[in-house]
Each structure stands twice: as C-alpha cells, then as structure tokens.
Structure 1
Amino acid sequence: MPRSRSRRRWALIASLAAGGLVVGGVLVGLPAEAPVRSAPVPAPGPQARAALAAGAPAALPDLTVLIGEQEAYLRAHPKDARSWALLGTAYVEQGRRTAEAALYPKAESALRRSLKSTPKRNPDALDGLAALANARRDFRAAKGYAEAALKERPKHWRTYPLLIEALTGLGDHKGAGRALDRLTELHSGPAVRARAAAVYRDRGWREDAQAALADAAAAAGAPAERAAYLQGAGELAWERGDLQDALRHFRAAARTDPDLRAAQAGQARVLAALGRSSEALSAYRVALTRQPEPQYALELGELYESLGLRDAARVEYDLLRALVRQHAAGGVDGNLTLGRFEADHGDPATAVRLLRAEWRRQPGIEVADALGWALHRAGADKEALRFAAIATDKAHGGGVRSAPYAYHRGMIERALKQYGPARRHLQEALRINPYFSVVHAPAARAALRALGEPSEDGPPER
C-alpha cells in the first residue's frame, strides 16, 4: 500500500538526513571533516545523453553541447536513425527548459527523419515523439506514440512516464495508475519516484508524494536532476500553503540549477504571498525573460493588478496573448492558459469556446476546472457546477487537493444559492492554501464573510 511505503521511505530519509543529504524539507550539509572523493565529472555532451537516457532533466549547457555534437555528427552520417532520435529528444528537452516553441518543429523534423531512416523497430523515435506531443499538450497523440513504442519494446521502463503524463492529461487516472504499477515493477530510480509523486499528488496522497520526491532528490545523480525534484517539492509545499518550506525548496532548486526558471517563478509566487511584492516582481521578471511561459505572464499580471497597477497588468496580459500565439506557431496548445486568462480578465464567452474545444480533445481535470469557472463567469452556473464537480469529486477522478478548484466550486455554488456547500468549499480552499492567489484568495475570504455563519436552527423549512 502507498501509505506503508511512505512510512518506510521516511524511515530511510531520516537515516540519510543524519548523514547530511537534501531530503524532504531539510537541507543539511556534509560535515567538513569528512571530505568525499567524487568521481570525475563527465563531459557535458555525455552527461546530457545520460540524463535523457535515464528520463531525467538535463542541464541547459550540457544540452547545448550535446545538440551541437549531434548536429555535427549527423552532417557526416545522415542515415543514423538513433542519432536523429537522440537529437530530436534533446531539442524537446531544450524547448521544455527554455519555452522556445520554435525548437519543437526542429525536434519533429529530426524524429521524423529517424523514422524515415528506420521505419520499424525504432522505439527511441516513438518515445521522442511522445515526449514532443506531451510538451505541446497534445496528450492523445502522446498516448498513441507511447503505446506504439511499448508494442515494439514492452519492457522499456522509459516509455511509461510518457504514457502516464499523457493519460493524466486525458483524465484517465485509472489508466495512469495501472501504468505506474507497471513502471515500478520495471524500474525504481529517481525519475520513477518523481513520476510516482505526480500520480500520488493527483490522488490527493500528499504525504506519499512528498516522500517520493524526497527519495528522488536524495538519489539524484546530477545537479539539474536534483534541482527539478527540489522544485517539485516546493510546488507541493506551495499547494498546501506552507510558505517557508516552499521558499526553502525553491531557493535550493535555483541554487542547484540557476537555469531552472520554474524555481524562480515559484519563489516569486511565495514572495508575493508573503507581501514582499518588490522581490516577487523582480523574480517574476527574471523567470519570464529567461523562460517566456504564458503562465508566468498571467501570474505577474495578476500581481500587478492586486497592487492596483492596472496599466502594468495590461502589458503582461498583452504579452500573454502574444506568447500563446508564438507557442501555437510551434505546435503548442495554449488554450488552457488562454481560457483561464479570458475567463478572469478578458471575454468569458471566448474562454468557454476555447475550453469546450479543449475538453472535447482532452478531458483532463485541469480542463474541467477551467471550463467550469469560465461557464460561471459567462453566467451559465448550472452547467458550470457539473464541471466543477468533475474537478473536485473523487468519484470523477478529481482527487487532487486544490485550493483553486475548491474556490471555483464554492463560488459557483454561492451563485446558485447553495450556501451550505458554498461555505464548505470556500473554507476548504482557504484551509488547503490561504494564499493560493493574490486575486482570488481575498475574494474567497470576502465571500465567506458575506455568507456569514450557518444558522443554528438549520435550513429554513420550504
């Protein structure tokens, strides 16, 4: 059972912490009087190759070297299918790390070139195409490529994380659980533990997710890999409203890998919640400049808006729209982020149109929540509640404990005059994370004050 595994993990982590490792929320240095002889550091190209082979994040400088080496090699050996697959996969990872969507067509071209050279028994190219489709948020295509790769190489563990990501995006949480079971039968490295953490988080098993990420960080072999898992632990801490633990993990991740902009954006989010607005603005600007993600522009715009700087907020919102268009040119589906933006800051009817199409394509929990909120903002509260329930009811797969999801459902129920459930879900949102949004957390508190306390006499008779 996952919870018994959690207890065993924490016992292991406690013993490792005594020796001075990065585990859980505790960052401890090795004692100075016991120097450790480290093995020679591999060259950047081989190090990036090893990371990709292990399903782990690769450092940006190492990726740049590897890509240069592969491009040079393929000019002399243009029919080497495995090298084309490696180059395509490296482009995907570089695009994911930098948010440069223009790299994705290059990745697709290299991976198609690999398949053209070796049409059959080429699971490496299929894995690369699955990773590319996940990066583009085309989860149906990713599922197809991953399943095709497994037909050719059924026991290759590296394909299963790609399949799990695709199934989660499609809302198939039972399928993702079965794939995770098969993955853990085949392999048990840090990348597997990190993927397990994501599944546990979606099921609402916070302690198991935290323990799995602590295991992954302790066992990570390279700084970029360790930083990614620390950043994931920071996200878990943020989601449960533990600001100091979140900030500690995000800072550790950024120190370990200065190119990890997600850790800088995480710091900005926490700093904003702590009221350190100037530091938060600076951190957001750095993250957005180096990794132009539309989500970062949305968060920065909302921070400006919460500070009363509406003109500055509009600049970020215009940037968000421009970034979504740029990413779409690289094949990235940005309708989820754009729909969320339009629901709150633009045209709710446009948000409904975008998110209905997204729901038809890939009915994941994130899309259900966003569509429900857009319908509410457009005035269709009865239909909105149906999607909010999908996002929050365990019976529908919505096991994740999410403050924004609970808040959205509570506000929809309030609009429908279902005051008891509304009060319960708004309280739940603020209990999960009192700081979940610089815009919506204050709105949740105001709505609760307006609802008042429940009557001691119970509901009035009809």
Structure 2
Amino acid sequence: MTTRRTARNLLAAGVLLLLVSAAVAGRAASPEPGRSIGAVATAAPDPLAAAVSSAEQRLEEVPGDWRTWAELGAVYVEQARVTADPSYYARAEDALDRSLELRPEGNDGALTGLGALANARHDFAAAADLADRALAVNPYSATAWGVLTDARTQLGNYDGAGVALSRMLELRPGVASFTRASYDAELRGDTGTAVAALEQALELAATPADEAFCRTYLGGLAWADGDVDEASRHYAAGAEAASGNPPVLLGQARVAAARGEVEEATRKYRQVVQAQPLPEHLVEFGEFLLAVGEEDEAAEQFAVLATVWKLFEANGVADDLEIALFEADHGDPGAAVAAAEAEFARRQSIDAHDALGWALHRAGRDAEALEHARAATALGGEDARFLYHRGEIEAALGQIDEARATLTAALDRNPHFSPLHAPRAEQLLAALGGRP
C-alpha cells in the first residue's frame, strides 16, 4: 500500500478524535459528574469503552438526551476505526438517527457525526452534504469543517478542501487540523510545509495517542521520501508513546521490509492484521509475503481479505478503490475495470484516477489508461506507486523515454515503495535501457 492510503486513515482518525473529545468535554461539563464520560475515560484503560458505558448509563436514565445520543454515535464510529469492526457503523447510525429524531432542528452534532460516518463508509458525497447541513446550523464547528475537508479531498475537490481546511485551522488549530494541513501540502508536493505542519501538531499533542498519531504521519512523510532511517526514528518514538499502536506497527513493518529483515517485518505485519484487519493491511501483508516467496501464506491473507470485504460491504462500506487495485494486481482485469469505473463515477480524486488507469492498463486499454495515470500525478505530489503505474503504461504504449523518466522518478522518490512492485519497477527500467 502507498503511504497516501495510510494517510487517509489517519486523517479520518483525526476528525473522529475531535468528535470523541467533544463528547468527552460535553459529558465532563455535566452537573452530574458521576455520569461524566470524560471522568470515566480519563481513569479507564480503554476510554472508548468507558465512554460507551457511561453514555449508555446516562441514556437509560435520560433516554431523551439527544446530545448524548449524538456523542454515543461519534464514539461508535471511532470504535469502528480502532477495531476495524464495521458492525459499529450500524450502532453509530442508530444512535445518531435517534439523536436527530429527538432534536430534528439545530442538531449539528448529529449531522456532523453522520457526516463522519459517511466518510468512514466512503460515501463522500453524502458526507459533504451532511457537513454542509451541520455548518448551516453551526458555522463555528471545527469538527464539521474537518468532515467537509475530508469529504472534499476524497471527492477530488482539492480547492474546496483547502477552503474548508483554512476555516478549521482558524477555529481550532490542533492535532486534527494541522494533520490535515500537512496532508493537503503533501498532496500538492510541498513536503516542507507538510513536515512543518506536523511538527506544530506534535507540539500540541496532549496525550500519548496524539503523539503516536503525529509520529506515525511524520514517519509516513519520511517513508514517502525514501528516508528509511528518519521514518524508523519517528515510528520508534510513536511506539514508545503508544505501544502496540497499529499504524506505528505498520510503519515499523515497512522499515523492516526495506532493510531486508524478513522475520521482523513478518512479525510486525502479523501484529497489524491481528489488531486491525483492514483490507489495505491484508493486501499489503499478502504482497510482502509474495515478495519473499511465501505464496501459501499470502493466499491465506487474500482469503481473509475476501471475507473482510464481505463484512464491510454488509455494513455499508464501499471499497471499490481497493478492490480495483487488488483485482488489477492479483485477479481479474475485467473486474478491476468494473470496480474502478464504479469508484470513479462517485469521485474523481487522484486515487480514483490512479486505480482506473491501472485497471485499464491491466485490461489492455493503455491509451485510455494513460489519461488517468497522468491525472493521478498532476496535482504536484509524487506518489511513487502512482508514478510506477504511469511508467508501466507509458512503456506499454512504446513511450520509452517518458517511461524511463517516470520510473526513475518513482524509484528516486522511494526505492522501497512496495516490496512487490518496487523490484518490478527496477526490472522494467533496466529492460528499457536504465536511467535517462
């Protein structure tokens, strides 16, 4: 998987941290401290579980408390992210819908929570609409501006995302907003600004989880630049702050793989998929196993992947982007094109352009593929996998000079971008005559 896909997960976490912290703050302000989510969460080893328990107790006593229903829904969305258990989405939807039933007007908290839920389910158009509705009620909600930023980014409306992000930064400069600012800069190829924004976020990190969050993203930026040692330093600091954090473990697995430490990489990847069996994690582990010759174990990961996709689909999550890439690399090119076209119909982001271009290439439709591959690399950021895909397509079209330059750029950006595909990029570049 690319660093950018990991970044998308981190950004989703960032706005949910705002939602959950808002829930905690709201309950802590309660005149009945015995029912405070915040007080319980501070003392408990699992603050999310404590928050759910406290909210449920409150709702047993005051079932018409629409604010607590909205807070409970937000916590359920965060639990889904942390556990990779999409069954929490239905619980979140029920709680948020209940809040709106009780308070149909002026309920920006429930609308924002539903927007975050829509983003988590990859229904970005609905998320943008819900965020707009929440902001019509409360234009000063940094959380709603964060939901809108994410939705617009994933829809490919990068200018609109920048506007929403600027408002979020004005209202609440903090970990979630500075992390988004970093991602926006990374997408546009401004690595210096991306790092500076993350360093600001790190200075404001108030909890070990916040520190690990920032360190993971700093490590991801270093990794995207091919700086394995710098990435390792940040991941180690993240692990010290929050031992067992899955995104940190994922970063450490990548570092170990890049260094040829097969046993350590395998161990870390196993920890990741056990803690968070997300589709992208299972694919990445499976591709690593293929790269080191463990075809049978890779097949096991891909079998689990098929089950996980069914579970996510049953809980309202559309994952056509990942399906398209997986089918293009490991399955049926026709299925890859169908999934990629379905994704592109919903959004025209650089990720969707890349997936559709790659799927079309694998189906032998290279002239069409090149248009999308160019669009995927037009924003300014230099994602190594996107460049590799474009280089493959250029080579297939006989554009040898262009392919050599593009493949060189991919490997210069990050020679370890994928244990499976980086060696293929090297081999193709050599076959074309080497670096220009």
| Fold agreement, TM-score > 0.5 | yes
Describe the shift of the 1:79–1:62 C-alpha distance in structure 2 as closer, same or farther (beyond 3 A).
same
**Which amino acid is the alignment partner of residue 49 of structure 1?**
V
- Give 1:312 shift: 1.3
> Which of 163, 175, 190 is the equivalent residue of 2:175?
190
The corresponding residue for 1:408 is 389
Give the structure 1 partner of residue 3 of structure 2. Answer: none
Post-superposition CA distance 1:45-94 (Å, at most 9, x none): 989714999xxxx9981111011110111111111110000000000011
Residue in 2 aligned with 1:41? none
TM-score by length of 1: 0.84
2:160 pairs with one of 175, 178, 201: 175
Partner deviation per Cα, 1:301-350 (whole Å, 9 max, x = no partner): 11111111211111111111111111111111222112111100111110
> Structure 1 pair 413/83, CA: closer, same or farther in 2 (3 Å)?
same
Cα separation, 2, equivalents of 1:318 and 1:356? 24
Question: What is the aligned counterpart of 1:124 among 97, 109, 129?
Answer: 109
Instruction: Quote the offset at 1:285 in angstroms.
Output: 0.6
Moved more, 182-191 or 285-294: 182-191
Q: Which residue does 1:72 correspond to in 2?
A: 57
Counterpart mapping for 1:278-427 below 5 A: 278-393=263-378, 398-427=379-408
Amino acid of the structure 2 residue aligned with 1:401: E
SS of 1:298's equivalent? helix
Amino acid at match of 1:184: L
Partner of 2:66 in structure 1? Answer: 81
Change beyond 3 A, Cα 1:123–1:60: farther
Q: Is 1:231 aligned to residue 206 of structure 2?
A: no
Amino acid of the structure 1 residue aligned with 2:117? L
- Residue type matched to 1:429 in 2? A
Q: Distance in 2 between matches of 1:233 and 1:453?
A: 32
| Displacement of 1:410 | 0.6
Q: Show CA shifts across 1:215-245 (max 9, x none).
A: 1112111111121111111111111111111
Contact 1:180 1:196 in 2 (8 A): yes
The amino acid across from 2:417 in the alignment is F
Q: CA deviation at 1:182?
A: 2.1
Q: CA deviation at 1:203?
A: 1.1
SS in 1 for 2:402: helix
Match of 2:418 in 1: 437
Question: Is 2:59–2:65's contact at 8 Å kept on the other side of the alignment?
Answer: yes
Contact kept in structure 1, 2:408 and 2:435, CA below 8 Å: no
User: Taking structure 1 as reference, are residues 446 and 52 closer, same or farther at Cα in structure 2, changes over 3 Å only?
Assistant: farther
> More displaced, 77-86 or 218-227?
218-227
Contact 1:60 1:259 in 2 (8 A): no
Query: Is the 8 Å Cα contact of residues 66 and 100 (structure 2) preserved in structure 1?
Result: yes
Which amino acid in 1 is paired with 2:103? T
Which whole-Å deviations, capped at 9, do the CAs of 1:119-162 have from their partners, x for residues lacking one?
00000001101111111111111101100001011122221111
Q: Distance in 2 between matches of 1:321 and 1:439?
A: 20
What residue is the counterpart of 1:25 in the other structure?
none
- State whether residues 235 and 252 of structure 2, in contact with CA within 8 Å, keep that contact through their aligned partners in structure 1: yes
AA aligned opposite 2:373: A
Deviations along 1:245-286, one digit per CA (max 9) or x if unpaired, are 112212222221235211111111121111001101111111
Instruction: Indicate the residue corresponding to 1:33 in structure 2.
Output: none
Is 2:235 the partner of 1:250? yes
Q: CA deviation at 1:181?
A: 2.1
AA partner of residue 301 (structure 2): E
Pairing 1:199–2:184 present = yes
C-alpha distance after superposition, 1:84-127 (max 9, x if no partner): 00000000011111111000000000000000000000000011
Would you say 1:49 and 2:30 are equivalent positions? no
- Aligned in 2, Cα 1:235/1:78: closer, same or farther, shift over 3 Å? same
- Structure-1 residue corresponding to 2:38: none
C-alpha contact (below 8 Å) 2:195/2:221 kept by paired residues: yes
CA contact (8 A) 2:224 2:383 kept: yes
Identical residues among aligned pairs (%): 43
**Aligned twin of 1:106:** 91
Whether the aligned pair in 1 keeps the contact of 2:429 and 2:435 (CA below 8 Å) is no
Where do 1:269-284 residues align within 5 Å? Answer: 269-284=254-269
- Give the whole-Å Cα distance in 2 for the aligned partners of 1:337 and 1:269: 19
The Cα shift of 1:424 comes to 0.8
Structure 1 residues 171 and 60, CA gap change in structure 2 (3 angstroms): farther
Secondary structure, in 3 states, of the residue corresponding to 2:46?
helix
Partner SS, residue 158 of structure 1: helix
Gaps of at least 5 residues in structure 2 are 1-19, 29-41
Aligned to 1:12: none
Does 182-191 or 258-267 show the bigger shift? 182-191
- Where in structure 1 are there 5+ consecutive unaligned residues? 1-44, 456-462
1:143 aligns with 2:128: yes
Give the number of equivalent residue pairs: 403
Kept after mapping to 1: 8 A contact 2:405/2:435: no
Question: Following superposition, which runs of at least 4 residues in structure 1 exceed 6 angstroms of deviation?
Answer: 45-48
CA 1:280/1:454 → structure 2, altered by over 3 Å: closer, same or farther?
A: closer
Q: 1:165 aligns with which of 138, 150, 155?
A: 150
Work out whether residues 420 and 454 of structure 1, in 8 Å CA contact, stay in contact via their aligned partners in 2. no
Query: What is the CA–CA distance in structure 2 between the aligned matches of 1:248 and 1:349, rounded to whole Å?
Result: 42
CA deviation after TM superposition for structure 1 residue 453, in Å: 5.2
